[in-house]
Homo-oligomer: A and B are copies of this chain.
Amino acid sequence: MTSRAGARKRDTYRHGNLRNALVQAGLELVRSGGPDAVVLREVTRRVGVVPNAAYRHFADRNALLRAIRQASLAQLAAAMETELAALPPADDPVESARARIRALATSYLRFARAEPGLFRAAFSTTDMADTENESADGPGGLTAFQLLGAALDDLVESGALPPDRRPGAEYFVWSAVHGLAVLLIDGPLRGLLPIQAHEAGQRLMESIERGI
């Protein structure tokens, strides 16, 4: 055998695309094991490079983790965009705006449950200084947070939400959905059966709509 699975021995001295390869390998690790699974030596091992090579592209393990986190956030945003795009066109602007918010919440929760590792990584605090918007957007160029904000704006525009209740609304919606996601994937609500989790999600979205 040449080396570890997926790490074919390179014939060129230079790798050519190391930085990106490291992030990809890191994503694999994070996917099955969360942020703690991102072991620098293992990442470089998978890419077929010596540990120190990573230091030519990242200041330290934390910097690599930050890049992986951005990529995870981008995947979340992408999943949300996809869900939005799949929404059937609606005539009623009110119902349309509501449907979009539901879709965003649904895809957020689904992503968290389908990819808990990525989700954990996306919101893990690697260290205090974070850029928060470096490249966390999806293909459409909007972050998850911005997608939510836009949907809420539409809700106001459609007349379903009084403008004076608009400020701070994303904090409430986001908190509720994020909270359930966290409690489900590694809080005390982990262990809930998929059906129960789904019901909790439905119940949550009802209350969000009422409380917004």
Contacts and interface: CB of A to CB of B under 8 A. Distances in A.
Interface of A: 34, 123-125, 130, 132, 145, 167-168, 171-172, 174-183, 186-190, 199-200, 203-204, 206-212
A185 to B, nearest CB: 8
Contact of A210 (B187, B203, B210): B210
B175 A125 contact: no
Given A174-B183, A175-B183, A179-B174, A168 B199 contact: yes
A190 B199 CA distance: 30
Given A171-B200, A179-B177, A200-B171, A125 B207 contact: no
A66 to B, nearest CB: 13
Copies in the complex: 2
Contact of A171 (B167, B168, B189, B190): B189
B187 A179 contact: no
Contacts of A203: 167-168, 171-172
Nearest to A189: B171
A99 to B, nearest CB: 18
A178 B182 contact: yes
B179 A175 contact: yes
A188 B145 CA distance: 10
Contacts of A206: 211
A164 to B, nearest CB: 12
A10 to B, nearest CB: 34
Contacts of A167: 203
Contacts of A34: 125
